[in-house]
Amino acid sequence: MLSKRIIACLDVRDGRVVKGVNFEGLREAGDPAALARRYNVEGIDEIVILDVTATLEARQARAQTIRAVAQEIFLPLAVGGGIRTEDDAAAAIEAGADKVSLNTAALQQPALITTLAQRYGSQAVVVAIDAKREGGHFGVYVRSGSTGTARDAVDWAREAADRGAGEILLTSIDKDGTRSGFDCEMTAAVSTAVPIPVIASGGAGTFEHFAEVFTTGCADAALAASIFHFNEHSVVALKQFLAARGVPVRL
Amino acid sequence: MIALVDYGAGNLTSVRKALAAIDAAVFTPDRPGALEAARAVIVPGVGHFAATRPLDEGWRAAMHAGLAAGRPLLGICVGLQWFFDGSAEEPGLPGLGLFPGVCTRLGTGTPPALKVPHVGWNSLTLPRASRLFDGVANDAQVYFTHSYAAPVVTDTVAICEYGVPFSAAVERGLVSAVQFHPEKSGDVGLRVLKNWVQGLTDQRTTAGAR
């Protein structure tokens, strides 16, 4: 049976892992390669590097971080943050990424999704959606959650899938960094609307939160950062908890 | 040296890294004739079946000739699919035809609707002993990412199920192939690659066996 994936996210800035609350007030958590090595041993299923403040100048640094992390793990590795062009994506993949995650760039130039899917296959293209509750729907935000768009998360996820995305990485801005649980309602709304896997992100605080997002949230994978980085919870213990609750995981 | 065929289908970095981790030396042949210098050949791949188009008659002939001369072949992901007759993903583009059948799209069967691509860790059923899975537990999990899959055939040595059962690995004589990504499948994946590399030595003595 296909396992539900537990994904560790490394939010990287200037080559160091940081993690903030609601995308602000970043605090330092360490060396990306060292963290990746630990996760590999602990049985994490996948690693995502998000270059949270990626700039033009940061491109070189990003490739070095990708290479350093890829050196440590024989696991799928996705990279996002500041990937705006086909060249950016190619550089990340060349450095060792298996997938690239597009966010702002996908909204601004949706054709990039198709271009990359044709060049590398859909499995290499993740569209990241940062969304916030707005009345009766889920509004899409860009630029690290600071800028609203006119898009609805469910509609945008559908379009991204139609254009060739292989996965959706859905982050709840309301929940991100709060450790109060994933936004299961939003995750389910997107996950049941698209024919591709959805990774839930934002709000992981307890093992119970993961069980919820895999059941009521209909998530195919769940991503967390801070709860793993500070050694508060081990990946193994989380998976044992999920297995006992009947959620298929890789142990 | 092992020839890692680069036909432009994505990224060979991970495969190279995994082979380096098990001390297997590789080179990238720039033309079919270069395969003659190889002790074995890997056809990697990720993405669309159409990406195999550059593997033209020259490459196909070189691989067939290699098999006749006792040179083992390993296909990974789209590489496995290419070893079959073809794929519904790109009808009209033939595979190498080493295994019978055509790859078909996953998730088209009866409900419940399945997410496609099939992405993530799924368990293997090992119907019989094989070189590739020596020391690997039945039910071991490996990493898949694909939308099309090859049918289960006589030479299937690992079956995975996603809506339908499909060939997660095939092995016959000098030819081996895996649908999953051993280079992304942690210790289990490295074990499979190591088994294949170790098998190269044994196979030399039984060259040509099919």
**pLDDT tens string B163-201:** 999 999 999 999 999 999 999 999 999 999 999 999 998
For residue B210, being part of any structural domain is answered with no
Share of chain B above pLDDT 70, in %: 93
Domain of B161 in residue numbering reads as 2-204
Domain of residue A183 covers 5-244
Q: How far is B38 from chain A (nearest CA, A)?
A: 25
- Cβ atoms A74, B183 nearer than 8 A: yes
Q: Do B189 and B206 touch, CB atoms closer than 8 A?
A: no
Question: Distance between CA A235 and CA A216 in Å, rounded?
Answer: 21
Query: What pLDDT score was predicted for residue A22?
Result: 43
- Which chain B residues touch A196 with a CB distance below 8 Å? 115-117
DSSP characters for B120-153?
EEEE-B--S--STTTTPPTT-EEEEEESEEPPP-
- Residue B143 maps to a domain: yes
- How many contacts does A have with B, using Cβ atoms within 8 A? 100
CATH number of A55's domain = 3.20.20.70
pLDDT at B98 over 50: yes
Quick check: is A251 in a domain? no
A76 contact residues in B (CB cutoff 8 A): 143, 145, 181, 184
Q: How far is B179 from chain A (nearest CA, A)?
A: 14
Assigned domain for A135 exists: yes
How many domains is chain A built from?
Answer: 1
Residue B37: per-residue pLDDT: 94
Chain A residues closer than 8 Å to B161 by CB: 1
- Whether residue B209 is predicted with pLDDT greater than 60 in this model: the reply is no
Annotated active-site residue in A98, A130, A176, A220: A130
Verify whether the Cβ–Cβ distance B17 to A220 is below 8 Å.
Answer: no
Please report where in the chains the tokens 């081990």 appear, as a residue. Answer: A234
Contact: B186, A196; criterion CB under 8 Å: no
- Kindly state the average pLDDT of the residues B86-102: 96
CB contact under 8 A, A124 and B10: yes
Helix intervals (H) in A163-206: 184-191
With CA atoms as reference, report the closest residue to B179 among B208, B202, B156, B206: B156
Q: Average pLDDT of B85-104?
A: 96
pLDDT at B143 over 60: yes
**Catalytic residue check, A11:** yes
- Percent of chain B at pLDDT > 90 equals 84
Q: Which of A1, A45, A196 lies at the smallest CB-CB distance from B115?
A: A196
Is B103 catalytic? The answer is no
pLDDT at A62: 82
CATH label of the domain that carries residue B186: 3.40.50.880
Q: Which residues of A touch B116 (CB under 8 A)?
A: 195-196
Computed over every residue of chain B, the mean pLDDT equals 92
Per the listing, tokens 């990720």 go with B46
Query: Catalytic: A220?
Result: no
Answer for the pair B149, B176: CB distance below 8 angstroms, yes or no. Answer: no
Which residues sit opposite B41 in a β-bridge? B3, B73
Query: What is the tally of structural domains in chain B?
Result: 1
CB A120 within 8 A of CB A113: no
Note the pLDDT of residue A172.
Answer: 97
Whether A24 maps to a domain, the answer reads yes
> Is residue B209 one of the residues assigned to a domain?
no
Ranges of residues in chain A with a pLDDT under 50 are 20-26
